[in-house]
């Protein structure tokens, strides 16, 4: 029976996953998006990583005698950036109160995120809590921290006393003094220590706020995830994760406030962090012009399954470089695999090599390598690929060549005629020229002994085909 091994950011080693309570199943929490705008491409990486883990756990838990896994991914719908977006809408003439505009923006963005993640083949989590639904739990946790001396109120704020938690810095591997020396921290006159962080802050009358023992205000970012994870998964649970940009300060602060409020030695037993995204070898940024959202790619005609494949081709713990070449290669592989499994029911068990690779610290690149060896076993290929969220029937429409519908049938016949003539004359100049013209029009040309296949790609432009037949 396969063991699941994961790289624990806290221990800095790969550990075998053993649920804290098999009867409750593996409980895991992923820090989800702050809902003020579209998810950019980097935001998709943790969701895809956790989706693969979720699929793996759903597959192996019954055999291991574990209850079904419980997967939580939150929405942060209390944030200054959401407020700024709503204020900008009001200034642009949008009707309604600021509160209504904030709610409208949050609902819109949550809908976008769900649609985009579904397009990438991500299963919906078991719970998708919103921060605004757990304000009471946050206030109760803050009150407990104050009562135990781990937090203090000051000028309408409540701050966490970082030096009251001796293990602070264990996740990121830095001492508090090193953090102060190496990081920009907000220094406010009401802070006892520069590293103390906000649990609660005051709100003005025109901004979202809730009544509390410290006045009308709203929670700090870190307390939100501590309260939601406790409410849905318990004081301690199995796996917590996100992008490595959250490791400090967000996850470090979560651990401190959760352990102090709940009187536990740990918040989660395994911390899982994915590396960041590059685009054509460079960090994605608006200033470089290489910043784009998941929806940007989808609207350009890049299939969600292709985006997912590119992500899975690199181990989550390594930087992932999105390139046009990788996209093209992913599309070719997936078209080939979908041709192989067309009409096949995934009744076979996943191949051992694929399952073992995924269980070995989510080695998705190794799993893809193993899938390449299953071309002669269509049912097993399909069943195995589905552990990675690939070759699902509902995601396959993009791969249907549909040559006749695209108007390519005459060009295919023309290519076959030119090719047949070239075989007689041994002069392939005309074949090469026609292939170049088709490729320039966004058509992939596949030549085999028994014929030619033309496939319209994402950049297919029928206008560029004029004059070729």
With a pLDDT cut of 70, the percent of the chain lying above it is 95
Q: How far is CA 145 from the centre of its chain?
A: 32
The whole-angstrom distance between residue 287's C-alpha and the CA centroid of its chain comes to 23
Q: pLDDT at residue 201 above 80? A: yes
- What is 102-134 written as a DSSP string? HHHHHHHHHHHHHHHHHHTTPPPPSB--BGGGG
**pLDDT at position 405 over 70:** no
Please give the residue that has the higher pLDDT: either 387 or 393.
387
324 vs 466, residue with greater confidence: 324
The whole-number average pLDDT for the span 143-152 is 98
pLDDT of 296 over the 50 cut: yes
The band of 7, judged by pLDDT with boundaries at 50, 70 and 90, is very high
What pLDDT sits at residue 189? 82
Position 65 scores a pLDDT of 97
Calpha distance 447→209 (Å, rounded):
64
More confident residue, 439 or 314: 314
Dihedral sign from CA coordinates of 97, 203, 188, 243: negative
pLDDT at position 83 is: 79
pLDDT at position 351: 96
318 and 45 in contact (C-beta within 8 Å)?
no
Judge whether residue 462 has pLDDT over 90: no
The yes-or-no verdict on residue 370 having pLDDT over 90 is: yes
For residue 441, is pLDDT > 90? no
Confidence of residue 403 (pLDDT cuts 50, 70, 90): very low
Q: Is 451 helix (H, G, I), strand (E, B) or coil?
A: strand
- Mean pLDDT, rounded, for 266-294: 89
Residue 413 has, within 13 A of its CA and on its CB side, a CA count of: 5
Q: Is the pLDDT of residue 464 over 90?
A: no
- The predicted structure's pLDDT at residue 456: 77
Contact status, residue 158 vs residue 214, Cβ threshold 8 Å:
yes
Q: What is the pLDDT of residue 67?
A: 98
Residue 378 has pLDDT above 90, yes or no: yes
Most confident of 44-48, 293-297, 406-410: 44-48
Q: Is the pLDDT of residue 252 over 80?
A: yes
Residue 72 banded pLDDT, cuts 50, 70, 90: very high
β-strand partners of 445:
454
Write out pLDDT tens, residues 310-329: 999 999 999 999 999 999 99
Residue 352, H or E segment: helix 352-359
When pLDDT is cut at 50, 70 and 90, the band that residue 150 belongs to is very high
Mean pLDDT of the 175-194 span: 72
For residue 355, is pLDDT > 90? yes
Instruction: Find residue 200's DSSP bridge partners.
Output: 158, 219
Q: How many CB atoms lie within 10 A of CB 425?
A: 9
73-120 per-position pLDDT tens digit = 999 998 888 878 877 887 777 787 777 788 888 899 999 999 999 999
Q: Do 101 and 88 meet the contact criterion of CB atoms below 8 Å apart?
A: no
Lowest average pLDDT, out of 130-134, 194-198, 346-350, 389-393, goes to 346-350
């Amino acid at each position: 029976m396969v063991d699941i091994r994961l790289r624990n950011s806290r221990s800095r080693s790969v550990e075998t996953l053993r649920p804290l309570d098999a009867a409750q199943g593996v409980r895991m929490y992923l820090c989800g998006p702050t809902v003020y705008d579209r998810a950019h491409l980097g935001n998709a990486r943790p969701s895809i990583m956790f989706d693969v883990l979720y699929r793996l756990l759903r597959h192996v838990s019954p055999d291991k005698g574990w209850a079904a896994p419980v997967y939580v991914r939150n929405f942060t719908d209390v944030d200054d950036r959401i407020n700024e977006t709503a204020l900008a809408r009001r200034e642009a003439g949008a009707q309604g109160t600021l509160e209504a505009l904030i709610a409208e923006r949050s609902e819109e963005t949550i809908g976008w995120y769900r649609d985009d993640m579904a397009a990438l083949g991500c299963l919906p989590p078991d719970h998708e809590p919103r921060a605004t639904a757990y304000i009471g739990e946050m206030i109760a946790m803050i009150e407990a921290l104050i009562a135990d001396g781990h937090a203090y109120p000051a000028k309408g704020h409540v701050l966490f006393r970082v030096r009251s938690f001796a293990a602070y810095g264990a996740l990121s591997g830095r001492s508090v003094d090193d953090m102060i020396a190496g990081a920009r921290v907000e220094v406010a006159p009401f802070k006892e220590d520069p590293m103390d962080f906000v649990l609660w802050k005051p709100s003005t009358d025109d901004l979202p706020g809730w009544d509390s023992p410290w006045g009308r205000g709203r929670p700090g970012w870190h307390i939100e995830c501590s309260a939601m994870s406790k409410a849905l998964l318990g004081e301690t649970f199995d796996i917590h994760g996100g992008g490595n940009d959250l490791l400090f300060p967000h996850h470090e602060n979560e651990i401190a406030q959760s352990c102090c409020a709940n009187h536990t030695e740990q918040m989660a037993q395994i911390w899982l962090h994915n590396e960041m995204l590059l685009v054509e070898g460079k960090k994605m940024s608006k200033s470089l012009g290489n910043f784009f959202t998941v929806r940007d790619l989808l609207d350009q005609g890049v299939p969600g399954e292709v985006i997912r494949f590119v992500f899975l081709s690199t181990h989550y713990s390594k930087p992932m470089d999105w390139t046009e070449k990788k996209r093209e290669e992913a599309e070719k592989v997936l078209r080939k695999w979908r041709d192989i499994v067309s009409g096949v029911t995934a009744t076979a068990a996943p191949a051992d090599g694929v399952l073992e690779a995924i269980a070995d610290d989510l080695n998705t690149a190794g799993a893809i390598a193993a899938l390449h060896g299953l071309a002669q076993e269509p049912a097993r290929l399909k069943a195995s690929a589905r552990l990675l969220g690939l070759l699902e029937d509902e995601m396959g429409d993009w791969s249907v060549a549909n040559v006749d519908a695209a108007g390519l049938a005459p060009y295919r016949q023309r290519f076959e005629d030119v090719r047949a003539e070239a075989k007689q004359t041994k002069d392939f100049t005309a074949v090469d020229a026609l292939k170049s013209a088709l490729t320039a029009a966004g058509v992939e040309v596949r030549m085999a002994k028994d014929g030619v296949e033309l496939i319209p790609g994402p950049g297919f432009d029928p206008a560029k085909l004029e004059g070729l037949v």
